[in-house]
Structure 1
Amino acid sequence: MEWIESEGTFSSWDGAKLFYRSWRSSETTDRALIFLHRGHEHSGRLARAVQELGLGDFSAFCWDLRGHGRSPGDRGHAENYYDLVRDLDAFVRFVCVEHGISAENIVIAANSVGAVTACAWVHDFAPRIRALVLLAPAFRIRLYVPMAMPLLRMLLKFKEKAFVSSYVSAAMLTHDSEQRRLYRTDPLITRRISVNVLVEMHDTAGRIMDDAAAITTPTLILAAGSDCVVEAEAQRKFYRNLGATRKEMHEYPGFHHALLHEAGRDCIMEDIREFVIRSFTEDVDRSLLLNAHKGGAMRVEYDLLRQSTSALRTAFFSMQKYALRALGRLSRGIAIGLETGFDSGRSLDYVYEDSARGLGRIGRAIDRAYLDAIGWKGIRMRRRHLEKQLHVVMDNLEAAASQVTLLDVATGCGRYVLSVLKARKGEVDATLRDWDDGNLEQGRALASSLGLGRTHFERADAFDPESIRAVSPRPNVVIVSGLYELFPDNDLVLASLTAIGEVTEPGGYLIYTGQPWHPQLEVIARVLPNRDGASWIMRRRSQAELDEMVRSAGFEKIGMEIDPWGIFTVSTARRARD
């Protein structure tokens, strides 16, 4: 079969021009394989694998990671590992637009480090792709040096931009002598990797392994039986936790890490080929996501958080609660949380301000530590992402000569919206709603100080469908921020979203937030009170679950932002035109 290889560049999420290759045959249809190459390597190394797979009715694509191959950047470096996940999202969007391929007709095939990136993207961004093929995924790299990861973390404290050289030799990758020679002599192979990428990938992989139940995409895992580079048990843990109803794991005895370059790889190609073809004979059933509140891993997690724990852990959390009430009141932020609930609009408004206050030097120090908690860092990044998305959709509407009419169904104190309205010189008609009179009063005062005369505040329940349907004039931008993640019942959220879908102008936008993961979920549940004075217990929703509810309300997701810790998401969806 004759394959036509093309080269080009695409603009990634930050404007970086990354190099890519594509392979097409005369039999090409609207289906695509997108490959992610191993760490240290580049897209050219996959040309032979495309040929050997022989899927002529698929296009194939692969890009060179930033800092690799013919893409720009310091060799083996990225400012943040999560930049690579964002690059994958940008590349898939580019392929879909440039080549007219639906995401639902795309299969991701990723090797080693690339497989971790692919899993992080599928977990966090919840793309509606057809299937996922993971070859020797590097969830845990064998570092061999005792205490290697703590030492690397320590190195980063003294040197932000540090590098290590790969210990991996060609003989550790494959038994194929020709492939060994090609690896050793390839001038585009990058032998070094930045320490921050290595550490951040390790942390991301741990999060994804633990929460693999959130991944429902059909997945094939191929493991090398004699892998000296990555740990097989980490792959098995991911497989055990994986939430996909269709999943397979094959192990090849005696095979080394670089499965696509290994001797005797015909069986690997056959297994990939069979899985990919079968993936297009069975549709992915996403309807189960709408009922995830009735069962599944996150429901189990939620139920366990509502139950008592062991005596030792109860004592541990009781000590934290005592310290919070005794010393925490010296901190202004903790005092607000204790008074109004740590999930309240006023508490979040204080976190947004990010200015440490308290009684004396000790109180300010406690407050600074409180504001620097990873969850609050994520909240502030969520605000930046939300403001960015708001500007984008308003620019789109104004470019189409449409007057922006905005509705925020649960605005809190509205600080994030008001800052955007001020930047747009107050020329937007905005209705900001909330259930709490204190939030509304504070919001009105802030709007008045900013001179926003076209902003209207009103008391309303975001879960009252009739109240939402009665909004007039009909909005073309609707915001739901920091709300749905507080309530476990999907039926309640769906009723709200359905009403939003009905009231939003055709072609209008919905901006919504999610919290698919949190590293301090149990501490929050056992220690912090919510706005009702009860324990702040959250049922997480995967991004796939949240997106499916939004889709069922008549919206199509078109973009998403997420913090590098994977905690908070901000998504934009567009209502279908009538």
Structure 2
Amino acid sequence: MREHQERHYASFDGTELYYRHWPARGEGPRRAVVLLHRGHEHSGRVAHLVDELGLDDCDFFAWDARGNGRSPGERGDAPGFEALVRDLDRFVAHIGDVHGIAVEDTALIAQSVGAVVAATWAHDYAPRLRALVLASPAFKVKLYVPFARAGLGLMQKLRGNFFVNSYVQPQWLTHDGERVASYRSDPLIARPISVRVLLGLYEAADRIVADAQAIRVPVQLLVSGSDFVVHRAPQDRFYERLGSSIKQRHFLPGFYHDTLGEKERAPALAKIRDFLRARFEEPLQHASLLDAHQRGDSFEEAERLAWPPQRNSLQDLRWRFVRAGLRFGGHLSEGIRTGLDTGFDSGSSLDYVYRDQARGAGPLGRMVDRNYLDAIGWRGIRVRRTHLHELLGEAMRRLREAGERVDVVDIAAGHGRYALEALAGGADSIRLRDYSDLNVRQGRALIAELGAGGVAEFEQGDAFDRVALAALTPRPTLAIVSGLYELFPDNALVRRSLAGLADAVAPGGYLVYTGQPWHPQLEFIARALTSHRGGEAWVMRRRSQAEMDELVRAAGFRKLDQRIDRWGIFTVSLAQRVEE
């Protein structure tokens, strides 16, 4: 049997998570296979795969997820399901930094809850993985009790976070008697799971299954035919919607939920082995998304949203009623009125959302305004601001450590509040730009209000004018594009803007950019809300993170880090300008 090393890595919050590393045997190209265990279990439960798969030329890695096995944290708990996904992002980055194996030479094999973590990471962070193998992903756990999910959600609101014990018995997982016995006697297996992790698993799974077209990496799906733990239908819908140009699905009759620990697992492992060898032996394959504004899922989705309902149909009458309600709400709520006057995507609207102070006509108006400010999209916007602050701080830290000046440009700053707050006291110069006269006036007033006139200035400018961006002085070492590209579906425009920033930012400088790969209220926004462009409908074409990252990469930047809110709506990424 291959010997393993026991190690730890520091995750995003400094928590030291345990993992095992089996170095490859022999010489050859460095390749990694990462194993993710089921819920309640740990890396020791998947260690048998290292020898059974027979991929001796690959390094193997397996972690104990936070709150499991030998990793710290209360058993079965995490700050949220999204924390497990971010832990995985840091784990793969650690493998690259410490073990020298790039993500492009890495494959993942994941089971059950681990498979949902892996699929969510592939969707939200768009890693350029070599391959992804998902075994019986827990996209929908069989809770058996009617309305259990709704009940748990209500109890969480009343009680806060609490724990439930798994009902799963080991004999329901596998026909392998030895694994059943070892499950019963394993002191590292914990039956509890926190409700915030369990409900977060459900929410993430719903989103990933619905938007599987955004996953572009090669995927192999293994489906157990006699699974008592998770439902099969979401696995089928996920596979059907996958955007991967290379994908396989294998049905395993009679298999219980522990797909890779079943008694007769050899044929399933042979399929995995063949799939991984084929992926490693051929060049990395990811279909380009640079023309996604002209064809594909997001293009067709935006077209459907832009097409008006038939006049006087039930759908048309419904949205007329909603728009009338918004107009009435504008008499009560200051936030709604600002959106109606300037556009719900305007700098004025975003500045109001950032301030997060309910205002309106009397108590009723303030109640309506609070409900407006607490819409999921606006909550996501405020989380995006926090993530912008974090990554701007990281970029400034890197520049200071390299002995470089921090000369900042924000090419579409709105009122510039988030940038001025994040950069205060840390930048040598701040140049804020916006196309709107109103935003420029309000931004200059904000600079004066914050006493930032010695460092910051605000000017009018077109964020899509490549020549003007290339001529920026002083030459920026840190460029910001926040909330802009999401408003414009045409990739040609975005590429022109990014080319201007690539001309302006010298190699070694940084770019912080945002994305919106998902939104649960797209139809409401398109049918009911107006944009800053002359009051026309606010129709958004979502860009997957893979598409946004490819645009940035094509312009000459290398992505370094990323943040995403727990709903998967808004992303913030940090990239560095590289040598041509």
Distance across 2 between alignment mates of 1:287 and 1:468: 30
Q: Give secondary structure in 2 for the equivalent of 1:272.
A: helix
What residue is the counterpart of 1:106 in the other structure?
A: 106
TM-score where L is the length of structure 1: 0.98
What residue is the counterpart of 2:477 in the other structure?
A: 476
Distance across 2 between alignment mates of 1:284 and 1:210: 26
Which of residues 390, 393, 408 is equivalent to 1:406?
408
Query: How much has 1:316 moved relative to structure 2?
Result: 1.4
Letter in 2 for 1:4: E
Distance across 1 between alignment mates of 2:330 and 2:120: 36
Query: How much has 1:421 moved relative to structure 2?
Result: 2.8
What residue is the counterpart of 2:198 in the other structure?
A: 198
What residue is the counterpart of 2:463 in the other structure?
A: 462
Distance across 2 between alignment mates of 1:329 and 1:423: 40
Q: How does 1:287-436 map to 2 (within 5 A)?
A: 288-309=288-309, 311-424=313-426, 427-436=427-436
Q: Give secondary structure in 2 for the equivalent of 1:407.
A: strand
Q: Is 2:136 the counterpart of 1:128? A: no
Which of residues 534, 537, 540 is equivalent to 1:538?
540
Q: Give secondary structure in 2 for the equivalent of 1:74.
A: coil
Query: How much has 1:133 moved relative to structure 2?
Result: 0.2
What do the CA deviations read for 1:439-490 (whole angstroms, capped 9, x no partner)? 1111111111222112121111101111111212211100000000100111
The answer to whether the 8 Å contact 1:328/1:334 transfers is yes
What do the CA deviations read for 1:333-369 (whole angstroms, capped 9, x no partner)? 1111000000000110010000111111111111100
What residue is the counterpart of 1:68 in the other structure?
A: 68
Structure 1: 5+ residue stretches without partners: none
The answer to whether the 8 Å contact 1:328/1:366 transfers is no
The answer to whether the 8 Å contact 1:153/1:199 transfers is yes
Percent of aligned pairs with the same amino acid:
50
The 1:80–1:430 alpha-carbon spacing in structure 2 relative to 1, beyond 3 Å, is same
* Alignment RMSD: 1.1
What do the CA deviations read for 1:68-105 (whole angstroms, capped 9, x no partner)? 10111111111211110111001111111010011100
What residue is the counterpart of 1:88 in the other structure?
A: 88
Distance across 1 between alignment mates of 2:307 and 2:285: 32
TM-score where L is the length of structure 2: 0.98
The answer to whether the 8 Å contact 2:67/2:78 transfers is yes
Q: Give secondary structure in 1 for the equivalent of 2:68.
A: coil
Query: How much has 1:423 moved relative to structure 2?
Result: 4.0
Distance across 1 between alignment mates of 2:441 and 2:336: 21
What residue is the counterpart of 2:519 in the other structure?
A: 518
Query: How much has 1:387 moved relative to structure 2?
Result: 1.0
Q: How does 1:250-261 map to 2 (within 5 A)?
A: 250-261=250-261
What residue is the counterpart of 1:40 in the other structure?
A: 40
Distance across 2 between alignment mates of 1:410 and 1:211: 29
The answer to whether the 8 Å contact 2:224/2:252 transfers is yes
Query: How much has 1:573 moved relative to structure 2?
Result: 0.4
Distance across 2 between alignment mates of 1:51 and 1:505: 48
Distance across 1 between alignment mates of 2:425 and 2:322: 41
Q: Give secondary structure in 2 for the equivalent of 1:62.
A: strand
Distance across 2 between alignment mates of 1:161 and 1:454: 45
Letter in 2 for 1:479: I
Distance across 2 between alignment mates of 1:212 and 1:278: 23
Q: Is 2:245 the counterpart of 1:241? A: no
Q: Give secondary structure in 1 for the equivalent of 2:293.
A: helix
Query: How much has 1:167 moved relative to structure 2?
Result: 1.1
Distance across 2 between alignment mates of 1:336 and 1:145: 46
Query: How much has 1:25 moved relative to structure 2?
Result: 3.4
Letter in 2 for 1:26: R
Q: Is 2:553 the counterpart of 1:551? A: yes
Q: Give secondary structure in 2 for the equivalent of 1:145.
A: coil
The answer to whether the 8 Å contact 1:176/1:262 transfers is yes
The answer to whether the 8 Å contact 2:9/2:18 transfers is yes
What do the CA deviations read for 1:389-427 (whole angstroms, capped 9, x no partner)? 111111111111111111111011000111123243xx5
The answer to whether the 8 Å contact 2:217/2:286 transfers is no
Letter in 1 for 2:514: T
Deviates more, 1:495-504 or 1:340-349: 495-504
Q: How many residues align?
A: 575
The answer to whether the 8 Å contact 2:434/2:460 transfers is yes
Letter in 2 for 1:328: G
The answer to whether the 8 Å contact 1:4/1:25 transfers is no
The answer to whether the 8 Å contact 2:392/2:423 transfers is no
Letter in 2 for 1:553: A
Distance across 1 between alignment mates of 2:570 and 2:161: 27
Query: How much has 1:223 moved relative to structure 2?
Result: 0.5
Letter in 1 for 2:396: M
Distance across 2 between alignment mates of 1:494 and 1:505: 18
What residue is the counterpart of 1:447 in the other structure?
A: 447
Distance across 1 between alignment mates of 2:163 and 2:423: 44
What residue is the counterpart of 1:27 in the other structure?
A: 26
Distance across 1 between alignment mates of 2:43 and 2:225: 25
The 1:94–1:115 alpha-carbon spacing in structure 2 relative to 1, beyond 3 Å, is same
What residue is the counterpart of 2:177 in the other structure?
A: 177
